[in-house]
Structure 1
Amino acid sequence: MKIAVVKELAAGEPRVAATAETVKKFVALGASVAVESGAGLNASIADADYAAAGATVGARAETLAGAGIVLGIQGPDPASLGGVAPGALVVASLSPFTERARIDAYAAAGLEALAMEFMPRITRAQSMDILSSQSNLAGYKAAILAASEYGRVFPMMMTAAGTVSAAKCFVMGVGVAGLQAIATARRMGAQVSATDVRSATKEQIQSLGAKPIFVENVKGIEGEGSGGYATEMSEEYQKAQAELVSGHIAKQDIVITTALIPGRAAPRLISDAQIATMRTGSVIVDLAAESGGNVEGAVAGETVVIHGVKVIGAKNMAGTMAADASALFSRNLFNFLSAFWDKEKNAPVLDEEIGDAIRLTQGGKIVNARLLG
């Protein structure tokens, strides 16, 4: 089986879907690996590193020629995949809900598209979960970015000239990114609080030394929503949450929002009116800006000033740490493919539980229930 690793063509995407480490592991499985020249440069991986690991390095056409598996970060344009084997697997983050035309094109081209972001959140698939690995980095970077944009220090400082109070940081949404943002802000010395609609996250917040901020008189979600994500709440809960947040957010120096609902626009958590209650020089980092934004007025990829508050619309935060992000993403891909590798067929043979969850196209058709429903 030939595995092709292509250079990302999407603007602003510096990551790469395989590292020298995972290339070596794929070769050890019995696969041959071809890497497009320059694919890893933005992630600090030279062509020579891939060659030393056992890959052949060349132009895109020769990389793809006869490939049975194509690895990518973002879903490659089907038109750019000429020469692959019939029915080749395309394994990447495919954005099925927002890039439906591309998914249809994969089906029309006879490709079998596997969306890694649809990986079920079950125990045996944890090491394959690209969303968790990349969200960890995004949460870390959100806190670092907030600190760099904030015009004051994070920790409390006692000096001969007087005491500087610790920054107050509020994290909204306590998934993987939120937990890492809490941990990072705490390590930098901020006074951290956090909230989520899932009551089960209270203990997680407290375990990191942060203060949970929850609506107590209206029930939220008792535990996890589908796939480990939160779901939309009742109007009653949303109203109570908005009132609680409004009182709390006015006292905060830093706010980091991380709330996402798969397949839907990100929920609005912070309004223009709430931003206006924050003091001048405060910072908001919206990690959901690319999905519509948790913050009114946030613009993906830009920093805007609203009522004297810097609102940072995060875009591909994991990609800003391309070397580490690529290392984690590529390990997710290797863990996935190697778990199903059939040595006799020299190819992966997926089981129903995971295969049905992530397979979008097969035999020229859309086959995923989430896209057909």
Structure 2
Amino acid sequence: MIEWDAATIKDFQTTLLDWFDHEGRDLPWRHDHEPYHVWVSEIMLQQTQVQTVIPYYQRFMALFPTVADLAAAPESQLLKAWEGLGYYSRVRNMQRCAKQLLTDYDGQWPQTAAELTELIGIGPYTAGAIASIAFNEPVPAVDGNAYRVFSRLLKIDADIAKPQTRAAFERVISQIISQERPGDFNQAIMDLGSSYMTARQPDTAHSPVKRFNQAYLDGDELAYPVKTKKPRPKPVAYVAVLAKMQDQWLMTKRPSNGMLANLWTVPLIPIADLDLDDDYQPEELVTAVENYFKREYQLQLTAHYLTGRPVTHTFTHQKWTIQGLSGQVGLSDLAYFAGQTFTLIERQKLPMPKVQEKIFARYSID
């Protein structure tokens, strides 16, 4: 790791902020410095691209313009507004945080990063972003962009996959951040990391700070940041039952805990629960699922194997492969089933996870 003297730090701040003033991205949450707007945008931007977030942010603000509106919203409305962004625990924690703000803070935001981390769902990065942008506290906001930018600028070879590395980066950036414009400084780093200093195809030759980028000058910038690989997601196989009773689709609300909590899907059965051999044939899968429905739900299902590629969907720790079956449900008592039936039009009103949208799309259910 190299170190900068005071003159270099000042030169870097001036160069970065001058570029940001002229070239910084015009994003809807940057039109003011309201902590609520900063918070919502930063939570949405976790694991999600900026261009995807923009329309979601605008719709979300129209539906829930204040902390109080968010706190009072029905969960089903929140989940529907979040549909497609994934990682639904984010929006559930946002509502819990909104209620906490109203109950414990009289609706007023804490103004320091240290205090902000006491709020539900707000970690060090989000706290740093809110404190610096909304309240002008000179604290770093260390995310993937900051890791990448500063590891290349200063050739920091600490493994960013290790939790303790964050503290090292925070110490370094705290010495470099602008004391007068910390929010703009942090946002400039975000923009730099998503434009000239991207992970795989950086355009450092045209970067406004290329003369400060020691890894680029040494010809090894793609070696930074240093990060050990995560383990591969565990493969899990499911069968999705696209079952009809007359003109209605059988759907179920998932449990309130666990993956995809409180979201609606067609019945998803783990193939491991069907007691099949590894080399099972399609007709054996159909028979096993029909027997499963009879045993678990007291429903008479007549199923058919749907040809074509299975649906795949990757979560953080699991990779799902989903084979579809079509079917008809008899007129047995549906009270045994843990869901309800909805027409195709009605299902559009339900909060559904991205994986369910993929299932409907793959098997041409409009």
Q: Which of 1 and 2 has higher RCO (CA within 8 Å, sep 6+)?
A: 1
Question: Computing the radius of gyration over CA atoms, which structure comes out larger, 1 or 2?
Answer: 2
Structure having the higher strand fraction is: 1
TM-score, normalised to structure 2, is 0.25
Structure 1 length normalisation: TM-score?
0.25
Q: Quick check: which one's helix share is greater?
A: 2
